[in-house]
Amino acid sequence: MALFAAALPNAVVLRPVTNMYSRASEDADVVSQAIYGANVAVLEQKDGWAHIRTADDYTGWTPLTALLPGKPYATSGRVGEVQSLFAHIYREANVTRHAPLLTVPFETRLEVVAEPADLPRWLQVRLPDDRSGWLQAGDVAFDVKPLDVAGMLALSRRFLGLPYTWGGTSSFGYDCSGFAQMLCRRRGINLPRDAQPQADWSGARPVERADLAPGDLLYFGSSDKHITHTGVYLGDGKFIDATTHETPMVRIDDLNDPYWTKLLVAMRRLKQGEAK
């Protein structure tokens, strides 16, 4: 713990996905998550727990064992970003000799240290704890550019069937606002983490149902001040969302379904990238 105290306030996440709790206990509710290699700020620590802040300005408690204190990771040099839903990292450039060292989710950023010409399928990476690892080049991309609306909606369908996970922010399982936030992030837009703040955000403007366009954000609840769910409009009355309704997963729903129609309370269009 002395090492950690000396390194405040920066740390890197060492688990594929680490839960962030409302208080320093695994008996508490999960408020969000942070993924492998993410750089977080440590605000406080006590009893083996760290109160952290993630890049989206969200805070929660996570075990100190999930973190490594020290300098930021994957912020410079050759950095690859996982584009597969999941990527295995191996101890050597071979998928059969050993089990993966770990499996990381979509959007994980990794420091690439070698791209051997004699192993064109493979990339060598330096992990946050200085271990060496190998992953297949097809799992990552470099210099990832923001998507347009059509590209974002095409991407969204890759996640169909993933489990709904309360507090989830990764391809291991999203909650509704975490899924919408991720899709907007792929457009280069930093949407707030939770559904109510998203609907209230100044970076989006209200639209009427008759004017909905693909890529618009839909918000559901008992009123526009009590929002409990969100989805992304696909067009033709359909939207994609991470939901617990009927089947707990990322799925496509029908806005004309009476269940959703009665709960629809707000619709928003992101201002960034909007035609002038």
**Angstrom distance (rounded) from CA 250 to CA 234:** 14
Distance CA 15, CA 172 (A): 12
Residue 276 has what pLDDT? Answer: 41
pLDDT of residue 1: 41
Q: Which of 190, 177, 221, 202 is nearest to 269 (CA)?
A: 202
DSSP helix, strand, coil percent of the chain (3-state; round to 5): 15, 40, 40
Using the structure block, give the residue that is written with the tokens 């000396």. Answer: 6
pLDDT, averaged per 10 consecutive residues of the chain (276 residues), comes to 50 98 97 98 95 96 96 95 98 97 98 96 97 98 96 98 98 98 97 97 97 98 97 98 97 97 98 67
Instruction: Supply angle C-alpha 16, 153, 123, rounded to 5.
Output: 40
pLDDT at 198: 97
Contact 170, 82 (CB under 8 A): no
Q: Give the per-residue SS3 of 65-125.
A: HHEEECCCCCCCCCEEEECCCEEEEECCCCCCCCCCCEEEECCCEEEEEECCCCCCCEEEE
CA pair distance 64, 138, nearest whole angstrom: 33
Going from the C-alpha of 267 to that of each of 65, 149, 155, 194, the distances in angstroms are 41, 16, 21, 15
Nearest Cα neighbor of 24 from 62, 68, 67 is: 62
| Alpha-carbon span 34 to 39, nearest angstrom | 9
Task: Give pLDDT, residue 9.
Answer: 67
Terminal CA-to-CA distance of the chain, rounded, Å? 53
Residue whose tokens read 């420091």: 111
